[in-house]
Structure 1
Amino acid sequence: MNPVDDLAAVLESTGELVAGVSRWDAPTPCSEWTVRELVNHLVLGHRLFTAVLRGEAGGSLDPRASDALGDDPVAAYRDAVAGLLSAFRQPGVLEQVVEVPAGTVPGVAAAHLRIVEELVHGWDLACATGQQAKFEDALVEREIAFSSAQLAELPAERSPFAPPVPIEDDAPPLDRLAALLGRSPN
């Protein structure tokens, strides 16, 4: 599969979750963030990667540092998604090397990093809002393999998420990815 197609599918599913939010101040599994701060973090991340892929300076990922959502969080999310997909669809972008918060990576790895970020925070958003996340299991399995390989090469203090938590081998793929990255699906 083309990782940009996978990214587009994940962004669409998360977009449905964002559009279904009824309480923006609700707590999330990211204990320090509300739903609004979580969606703001995603938008800031999309904008940062868009800038990096276009050879521009990126911004902060801290949702408390700036409000990228304004009065219409759903529209802000959709606009950030459109920019991100446009940037990833530029010719040669998957082969170029870029500097992202996780380090210097090829564009294809940057796409996987955004997919994983969106999957895990989509899981967070679904849990926080009582919605059902609709991510394709096979896609999630690909990102479990990607994440497992990446985490095996990172020193523990550099992990972008929390340490893995135990989970049954037969748990749904999204729950296994969430557990791999420190969430407790139980």
Structure 2
Amino acid sequence: MTDHLTHTPVDDLAAVFDVVGDLVAAVQNDQWGNATPCPEWDVRALVGHMVLGNRLFAGILRGEAAVVPGALDPRAHDVLGTDPVAAYRGAAKDLLVAFRGPGVLDRMFQVPAGLVPGIAALHLRVVEDLVHGWDLARATGQEIRIPDELVERALGFTRAKLADVPPDRSPFAPATTVPDNAAPLDRLAALLGRPSEPPR
């Protein structure tokens, strides 16, 4: 466990990757075609999208990749092969190494959301894999266990950034409603437009 005095933002991303990697590892063979809260993607496509995103960001941080149309479309790129767990964990580990590079969190990078400092790029990946982890758990009947304080940090970042995005350019569906006492991750998912009902 990381001591609170030495906690860094990269530790949040590492914690999310650990939890989501375990969710991916627990997907049953007959669940890869299950519907997810992302209507256009089944479970395999959802995991593929996360792998593509983590690989893209690692390449951007190293100056080896750029944002191009369709780069994150899992229907155009099969990156999971025969071992989705290894693909997810490998991409996650590579991105953590890239974020831990000297000065990375302070430099500016062109990512799909625009030109942002490295620390914002890191928060974007935390939110992305948190919410898609929520999607994956819903689609496969699993429970996602993430410390509430980590999710609250992601919520704070997301609320601040969404306020800067014009409604006609938002990549997210309109926010949905959850009870005031809902878990932080359910509130984050609702903020980004996730339906309250499980996918069918």
TM-score, normalization by structure 2: 0.91
Q: State the Cα distance separating 1:51 from its structure 2 match.
A: 0.2
- Match of residue 21 from structure 1: 27
Q: Which moved more, 1:126-135 or 1:156-165?
A: 156-165
Where in structure 1 are there 5+ consecutive unaligned residues?
none
| Residue identity (%) | 62
> 1:93 is matched with which residue: 101, 104, 119?
104
Structure number with bigger Rg:
2
Q: State the Cα distance separating 1:185 from its structure 2 match.
A: 2.6
State the secondary structure of the residue aligned to 1:185: coil
Where in structure 2 are there 5+ consecutive unaligned residues?
1-6
AA aligned to 1:9 is A
Query: Pairwise mapping of residues 1-186 of structure 1 onto structure 2 (< 5 A)?
Result: 1-22=7-28, 23-58=31-66, 60-186=71-197
AA aligned to 1:63 is P
The whole-number CA distance in structure 2 between the counterparts of 1:21 and 1:161 is 26
TM-score, normalization by structure 1: 0.97
Matched residue count? 186
Q: State the Cα distance separating 1:160 from its structure 2 match.
A: 2.2
State the secondary structure of the residue aligned to 2:75: coil
AA aligned to 2:62 is R
Runs of 4+ deviating beyond 3 Å: none
State the secondary structure of the residue aligned to 1:121: helix
State the secondary structure of the residue aligned to 1:32: coil
The whole-number CA distance in structure 2 between the counterparts of 1:56 and 1:158 is 27
What are the Cα deviations for residues 124-154 of structure 1, in whole angstroms up to 9, with x where unaligned?
0000000010111110011111000000110
Q: Which moved more, 1:86-95 or 1:163-172?
A: 163-172
Q: State the Cα distance separating 1:161 from its structure 2 match.
A: 1.6
The whole-number CA distance in structure 1 between the counterparts of 2:129 and 2:72 is 14
Q: State the Cα distance separating 1:6 from its structure 2 match.
A: 0.3
AA aligned to 1:175 is D
